[in-house]
A and B are shown apart, each in its own frame.
Chain A
Amino acid sequence: MLDGGLRPGSLHEIFPRGWNAGGFAVLLALLTTGKKPLFWIRPDYEAQEYGAVSPNGFLELGGDPRHLFQVATRNAADALSAANDILACPHVGAILLEVEGMPKCLDLVASRRLALAAGESGVTIFLLRPGAQVEPSAALTRWQVMSAPSRTNDDDWGNPVFDTHLIRHRLGGLGNFLMQWNPEHARFETADIGAVVRTPAHRPAFEPPRQRRA
């Protein structure tokens, strides 16, 4: 499921509910970045509220910490401008921009700029927005995510499971998906509850994004 990550060169928004759901955005970024560098941008207060990035945790999820770079900024505006800088470099694999709440600088215009820059360089950017409400944006897909209990029968806990709701998709259908992350093979699996809809998120064909209009 979601093999190869989401469509390259686009902007995706993830609205997590609960403490762990943000991991879904990290995993999407990990999936997309491949062997290229992954830049995780976050204002300082994110670390105070949600904890500092632990490279070991990243490793445990199947990522390679050597490809992980962190940009710690003073505020959301700096984070946004760092993201625009990094987006311009086509040799970057993916960007994870974690911005809490609803800062003024992160408006529709800013998201259009990000989407446009992503389309030009082919770098995929994930906007992780804890504590934010959904608002209009230029994102290609928008996800609302909660963590779900382990899919194991006994008391042991299994691999991370996410209850994801694809609430906006410019090019395809919406749906709810229960996804389990497999760290060994670094991929999402449909959790064994059967009724999972075919994923519409991944479209191998690359369309120039400027044909779309926000």
Chain B
Amino acid sequence: MISHKANNALYVYALEARAQKLGLYKGQPLANARAMVQPLQIMPADEGADAALLEAIADWCDRFTPLVSLDAPDGLLLDITGAAHLFGGETAMLKMVTSKIAKQGFAVQGAIAGTSLAARALARFAPGTIAAPGGETETVAPLPITALTVDDKILRALRHAGLKTVGMVAERLHSELSERLGKVFVNRLRVMLGAEEQPLQPRRPLPDLMAEQRFAEPVVTEEIISASLLSLAETLSEILERQGRGARMLEAGFFRADGKVARIVIKTGEPLRDPRIMLRLLRQKLDALADPLDPGFGFDLIRLEALLAEETKSGTVSFDGDENARQQVRFLIDRLSVRFGEHRVQRFVAQDTHIPEATGVAVPAQERDFEGAWILKRRADDPPQRPLRLLEKPEEIKAGLPLAPDGPPKYFLWRQCRHDVARAEGPERIAMEWWRKQELTRDYFRVETKEGQRFWLYRDGLYKKEGLAHRWYLQGIFA
């Protein structure tokens, strides 16, 4: 038996059949239960673990339909629209799902109905029921009003009015109920009776498209898994072709016979339709997994979903050589992104700011949404004025005496080496944007050492104004 603390008192949270036989019940104060039965084996509830377990069961249920919704703390809702025939009809499917879960050692009750609320109520109060399409009103009518799962206040009001079953409530005029118990309640009732639909909240993003393959005999070998992925990719590709779309995000789900589910996601920079490329990206992702795909006793279902599909540009077939080249490069970028991670394959985007370290940012090369114009800020025939490399954090240097009062130092020490300044240009004053912390104005100098090494230095703070003692930093290295 499991106890649970609520309102500062311990209550019975869950209990097994043997305890139930002794007259104990869920929600009973723990002290009462103790008084009735001795000895009692009591464990504190672990809600986190329960939730995780429910998620795990939901994962397993993904094999029946991609739309599984959590009904915490102890329920799952599966949208089996169009899926039941795969499992031999609703009756067979319900039996199969519940018996499979029961076999794993859980107490399980299930029901099927046209709306989620009706199915939920039936599963809890009349397990095994399958409401005929449109027959929800009759099927749920005999259920007690607690099946409505509304708060205690409404329950009390209903009891007060002498209404004991859902059917009795349903017979009342909705306008009357609405006035007394609120619109929300009436809506709930209508959903329960199958008069209105309430969409499920899927736990995972719903795919735009999906294809799946089930195996009577779980598959283990790489060849079969690859072959299956290819045929799924071909199926998806055909649908995408018909719709004039391409996948931007693909997910492959591998459902192990023992219930474990492994998933991989790949993203592409361009809408993708070619099944061979899909397979190549998927294979690459699988190879790059830190935790290799472990088939255990085999997968009995492999599913490929297009989580995101996008229209391909009109005139997809282009014989333009340039376009072909660009596409090849984009595929290369997709492959690299899959292998090394999308944040490791970057392109650069111009930012409209004069803060040196922020003028160009690296973004994932697959991102297409940013564009900024690169504008050369110097005269065309001037030598470069910005360094090729910027240190990730400006490094403080020990600066010698300045060449001129507000000029660059005669020499400086950086990373334990002395550099003698031979030429310098500056100062170039760059004030920090006022909304950026409390940073000082910087006076930048481009200096060249006697050996011809070129660095970008700055003095923090205006000369003899903002600063106390001036600090010098090295921020960039020129080509």
Contact = CB atoms under 8 A, between A and B. Distances in A.
B360 A55 contact: yes
B423 A157 contact: yes
Contacts of B455: 19
A158 B478 CA distance: 12
B107 interface: no
Contact of A73 (B340, B378, B454, B477): B340
A26 B348 CA distance: 16
Contacts of B392: 47-48, 51-52
Interface residues of A, number: 58
Contacts of B356: 56
Contacts of A100: none
Interface string B383-402: 11111111110000000000
Interface string B329-369: 10011011001100011111010000010011010010000
B451 A55 contact: no
Interface in A153-209: 155-161, 163, 181, 183-184
B329 A60 contact: no
Interface in A5-44: 18-20, 22-24, 26-27, 36-37
B36 interface: no
Contacts of B471: none
Contacts, number: 175
A55 B452 contact: no
Nearest to B373: A66
Contacts of A26: 388, 479
Interface string A73-106: 1000010001001100111100000000000000
Contacts of B376: 59-60
Interface stretch (A110-118, A132-140, A142-150): A142-150
A100 to B, nearest CB: 13
A61 interface: yes
Q: Which of the listed residues A36, A48, A65 has the most CB atoms from chain B within 10 Å of its own CB? A: A65
Contact of A85 (B329, B339, B425, B479): B339
Given A18-B451, A20-B453, A51-B477, A58 B347 contact: no
A92 B329 contact: yes
The majority secondary structure among interface residues of chain A is mixed
Interface in B426-479: 446, 448, 450-455, 476-479
Contacts of A56: 356, 359-360, 374, 386
A71 B389 contact: no
B346 A65 contact: no
Interface in B143-167: none
B390 A20 contact: no
A44 B274 CA distance: 33
Given A19-B455, A54-B360, A184 B381 contact: yes
B422 interface: yes
Nearest to A90: B328
A152 B23 CA distance: 100
Contacts of B448: 149-150, 157
B339 A20 contact: no
A48 B393 CA distance: 9
B427 to A, nearest CB: 14
A70 B391 contact: no
B424 interface: yes
B380 interface: yes
Given A65-B350, A147-B452, A70 B383 contact: no
Contact of B383 (A22, A58, A78, A158): A158
Nearest to A79: B340
Nearest to B362: A70
A148 B450 CA distance: 9
B35 interface: no
A53 interface: yes
B325 interface: yes
B383 A159 contact: yes
Interface string B297-318: 0000000000000000000000
B384 A82 contact: no
Contacts of B340: 71, 73, 78, 82
Nearest to B347: A69
B374 A55 contact: yes
A70 B360 CA distance: 13
A160 B479 CA distance: 7
Interface of B: 325-326, 328-329, 332-333, 335-336, 339-340, 344-348, 350, 356, 359-360, 362, 365, 374, 376, 378, 380-381, 383-392, 422-425, 446, 448, 450-455, 476-479
Q: Which 5 A-B pairs have the closest CB atoms?
A: A23-B479, A51-B389, A55-B360, A57-B388, A55-B348
16 contacts: A20-B453, A37-B329, A50-B477, A51-B389, A51-B392, A54-B388, A56-B359, A59-B376, A59-B386, A60-B386, A61-B388, A61-B479, A73-B344, A91-B332, A146-B451, A146-B452
